[in-house]
Amino acid sequence: MLEQLGLSKTEARVYHCLLTQSPLAAAAIADRTGTARSNVYLILRSLVDKGLIEAGAGYNSRYHALRPDDALQRLLDTSRSELAARERHVEAALPDLVELYAKHAGADSGEVVEILRTPSLIGERFERLQAEARESIDIVVRGPIQVGGSNTGEVAALRRGVRARAIYDQTVLDDPAIGGRLSSWIASGEQAKVYPGELPMKFALFDGCNVVMPMVTPGVAGVVAIIVRNRELAAALGMLFETLWASSEALPAPAGRRSGDGLVVDPSLHEASWLGVPLPLTTRELLVLDCLASRLGKVWTYEQLHARAWDGLYVGPAAVQSVVKRLRAKLREADVTLRVGPVRGVGFRLLPPDRVPLGLAG
């Protein structure tokens, strides 16, 4: 715990010793904490400077810990002051650094093409390009979805005024990593269309100059993608994007997802209702219902529900079952005729009234 406050392991050990056995001489502290005597004075001086301990005057002085509530508050105050000073330095240096970067951003750095071979690295580079985008992000999305997530980078870019457009293959809309989150992205400002056929490739364009392209490489397992910093290639792919965009159908701005007669689920507003009456659902219950309601009768596996309602975090079947149990109870209390049905060992599905098993009725 003390290490989380910025103390080294040795500092934490010495401070903990003095909390329980003050006052002690430096030699005794070194012996009781297993610290080399040649280092113990540096550690004690550091703790004194941090305001956690005090030393007596004169040679062979003894050290004692100060009251933790006072000492730790001073430590926090010092950290805040140092952070505020760093923020001021950053604000002062940032304009010159941004200007320097802008002057050389278009220069040939020798890295026109970058090859990425792991999902984590691809995700990190993709988020960095989203964060650096200033004008536009254009994405063509088709399966398989190899790198998913909450897309916070695009949402942040939209808030900065960046235009974001996406063309989706019809098949990926069934993937909870896309279909389960698409309504919230559209609500944030993404312009989305669905292509009526099979998309020829998938890629992303950033500000008309940077390209990210997942690659299918024969004989190479896993995920491979390339980043190309080349305006000519970006222009050519931009023309392809505009052609596909013109041939695609717009997805409507979310006004709530409707399934069956009377059920409305809108995760972007954290709202769900039945026949106009709000359903008192928790965030997790709402996300699970939103996933199940996207297609009546479709079986959603535990893995898919983890991806949608827990943002990919695996919490185990028991946690999902607990949320579903509470959701079922609330749907029954609201006289919702739709029912959540289990598929043993697989997951759950939302069933219309005419397909509700007798064991789930009532």
User: So what's the pLDDT on residue 136?
Assistant: 94
Mean pLDDT of 74-85: 83
137 pLDDT band (50/70/90 cuts)?
A: very high
Residue 356, pLDDT > 70, answer no
Kindly report, residue by residue over 323-338, the tens digit of the pLDDT.
999 999 999 998 888 8
pLDDT, greater one: 137 or 311: 137
Residue 360, pLDDT > 50, answer no
Which phi and psi (to 5°) does residue 108 adopt?
Answer: -75, 110
User: So what's the pLDDT on residue 130?
Assistant: 92
Tell me what percent of the residues of the chain surpass a pLDDT of 90: 20
In our burial notation (b when 16+ CB lie closer than 10 A, e otherwise), range 14-25 reads: bbebbbeeebbe
Residue 286 tokens, joined: 């709402």
User: So what's the pLDDT on residue 143?
Assistant: 79
Would you call the peptide bond into 119 cis, given omega within 30 degrees of 0 as the criterion?
Answer: no
Q: Are 328 and 349 in contact (CB under 8 A)?
A: no
pLDDT, greater one: 34 or 252: 34
Residue 277, pLDDT > 90, answer no
Structural domains of the chain ordered from first start: 1-101 (1.10.10.10), 113-250 (3.30.870.10), 257-360 (1.10.10.10)
Q: Are 209 and 231 in contact (CB under 8 A)?
A: yes
Residue 348, pLDDT > 80, answer yes
Q: Are 203 and 210 in contact (CB under 8 A)?
A: no
Residue 261, pLDDT > 60, answer no
Residue 10 tokens, joined: 């040795």
Long-range pairs, 234-243, Cβ under 8 A, ≥24: 234/205, 234/208, 234/209, 234/210, 235/208, 237/203, 237/205, 237/211, 238/138, 238/205, 238/208, 240/200, 241/138, 241/140, 241/165, 241/167, 241/205
Q: Minimal CA–CA distance to 18: which of 62, 56, 57?
A: 62
Kindly report, residue by residue over 211-252, the tens digit of the pLDDT.
999 876 666 566 788 899 988 999 999 999 999 999 999 876
The lowest-confidence range among 128-137, 206-215, 223-232, 306-315 is 306-315
146 pLDDT band (50/70/90 cuts)?
A: low
pLDDT, greater one: 289 or 60: 289
Mean pLDDT of 139-150: 74
Residue 228 zone, left/alpha/beta (φ > 0; ψ -120 to 50; rest) = beta
Q: The pTM is what?
A: 0.47
User: So what's the pLDDT on residue 102?
Assistant: 67
Kindly report, residue by residue over 263-275, the tens digit of the pLDDT.
888 776 678 888 7
Binning the chain into helix, strand and coil, the percentages to the nearest 5 are 45, 20, 35
In order of 296, 312, 339, 359, the CA distances from 317 in angstroms are 21, 13, 19, 21
Residue 305, pLDDT > 80, answer yes
Kindly report, residue by residue over 147-196, the tens digit of the pLDDT.
556 678 888 888 788 899 999 988 888 777 777 677 777 777 788 999 99
The enclosing H or E element of 263 equals: strand 263-266
How many residues in total does the chain contain?
Answer: 362
User: So what's the pLDDT on residue 181?
Assistant: 74
Mean pLDDT of 278-299: 86
